[in-house]
A = this chain, B = another copy of it.
């Protein structure tokens, strides 16, 4: 099968190399660069403990003039104190030298194990080496997407093209993340590039909206990481902006679509996952209530293991909803599992358990919690919890 072709937005170059952080010899350093200064904004983890690169990059956005982003995998440069901060800044200085730009115009992310210092000599060489290999092809993008992977098994790329006022605009993103995934940006990183022209304040609000309905709606195990970062670069290479609200809405939709696609790719590649689970919560008074219930259902190990066993053990779903901290009466809740009503306004229905279990075995699970308390809703995505997840996580560092 021929590799899928991806399109980089105009005026961007990317690459990925093996610099030698990972013992495995797999690629571990990526560059995402813009030929001209790009508007850049970011969304970061809400953990109190953050990696050094988060501190550095968070302090540099929003920015009208970012030239590049460095991401290394294999080491998160988190919980590394002053030395970690010095190292993260040094990484950006090395790339800035290549551009002859200010180091504040370079951003940095790191992902991997926590609490170890970066091997700076190999990283410095890696950045210089990668800079020489930058390119605009689909292959160059795939290399960049592969080099940010940790326990991911496939690279995650998503691209969408739209016409704005007769100009073709491209939005392209990559992401990584296989565990420590929780709403509020877990061990995931993502870079989104577009050749549309955007002011920083508009770019900021557009990225926040896109993240809120994509990366903030996924959960593997509810552990918010120290490194999560989504960065958007808009370099305006097409010369086209978003003058009207209608054009802005078109770009927002493209951005939402790319982020949502990447978020779902992360869940489909979650560590040990055998089932992809979509949780729809509707009929709540406000979106926050819907989000809290969706999150708790997605993070209940008892719900996840029932899914692992193709077991329509709906009591676990209803009882998870019950401890989300949202007041409700049982008679205001109905539950559908793969489109079968199994709990209707507070009472169990009779249904064909064996047929439902078979539909769960396809690996695609849809859980719909319908309340009759209002009109707000929320969709979340998660996966099941398997013995393979335990195996992968019981032996990650030693």
Partner-B contacts on A (CB < 8 A): 46-50, 76, 78-81, 113-116, 179-180, 182, 184, 221-226, 299-302, 305-306, 308-316, 318-324, 326-330, 343, 346-348, 353, 357, 385-387, 389-391, 393-398
- With both chains docked as a complex, state the minimum distance between the C-beta of A267 and any C-beta of chain B, in angstroms: 15
Q: With a CB–CB cut-off of 8 A, which chain B residues contact A312?
A: 398
- With both chains docked as a complex, state the minimum distance between the C-beta of A106 and any C-beta of chain B, in angstroms: 24
Contact of A180 among B81, B302, B308 (CB under 8 A): B302
Instruction: Provide a sorted-by-A list of 15 A–B residue pairs whose CB atoms are within 8 angstroms.
Output: A47-B322, A49-B322, A50-B322, A79-B318, A79-B343, A114-B313, A114-B314, A114-B316, A223-B300, A223-B319, A224-B323, A302-B393, A308-B390, A309-B395, A313-B397
Q: Are A396 and B311 in contact (CB under 8 A)?
A: yes
A49-B318, A387-B390 given; name 12 further pairs at CB < 8 Å. Answer: A79-B348, A115-B314, A180-B319, A221-B301, A224-B319, A226-B319, A226-B322, A305-B389, A308-B390, A311-B395, A313-B397, A389-B390
- Given A300-B223, A313-B397, A396-B311, decide whether A319 and B49 contact each other with a Cβ distance below 8 A: yes
- Given A79-B348, A113-B315, A115-B348, decide whether A46 and B396 contact each other with a Cβ distance below 8 A: no
Minimal Cβ-Cβ distance residue in B for A113: B315
How often does this chain occur in the complex, in copies? 2
Q: Are A78 and B315 in contact (CB under 8 A)?
A: yes
Q: With a CB–CB cut-off of 8 A, which chain B residues contact A322?
A: 47-50, 224, 226
Q: Are B311 and A398 in contact (CB under 8 A)?
A: yes
Q: Are A115 and B49 in contact (CB under 8 A)?
A: no
- Given A48-B326, A48-B327, decide whether A393 and B309 contact each other with a Cβ distance below 8 A: yes
